[in-house]
Amino acid sequence: GLYAAGHYNDALSVQEANLSMMRRLHVPEGVLLDVQSNLATTYASLGRHERALQIKRDVYSGRLKLLGEEHESTLRAANNYASSLYDLKRYGEAKTLLRKTISVARRVRGDSRELTLKMRWLYAVALHHDPDATLDDVREAVETLESVTPSWKRIFGPAHPETGKVQHALKEARKKLAARAA
């Protein structure tokens, strides 16, 4: 309730105390990872992105050990971790993680699942936002977004809150490709 009301500092105190108590009570690892994930979101909302990144990395690692690379929760944790890397402009690390996990998501979940599409979208924007991106990287970003965008629109519809963001990412990547190719 505190988080939903925008009282992030208060929510952080409660979440940290809750996590500490759960650890003392030897709550199952999966539950601890859920609590840590919420804690990371609160840190990010407070602008403490490095701390949020550390926790998201730990959550991904924990999910990987507990559930394996093919589990939906592990793939979500990987996407959350990659998203934090992207937000901190650590594009190389985000791309490396996403290359690995996208192939797993596509194999296990298929190309038309929301999580797979989100991972591919994030990978494409990390590709073309990277200041070290090559022309081939930007081309790959455009190709990826040209595949993701119609699938996203077909599956989720034009009214979905993120459809416009996916379309904007494609437009932005095409613009960057045209400028780079010229």
At 72-97, the pLDDT tens digits run 999 999 999 999 999 999 999 999 99
pLDDT tens track for 3-46 = 999 999 999 999 999 999 999 999 999 999 999 999 999 999 99
State how far the Cα of 120 lies from the Cα of 122, in Å rounded to an integer.
5
Neighbouring residues of 52: CB distance < 8 A, sequence distance ≥ 6: 40, 41, 43, 44, 84
In percent, the amount of the chain with pLDDT more than 90 equals 97
pTM above 0.85, yes or no: yes
C-alpha 109/C-alpha 103 separation (Å) is: 10
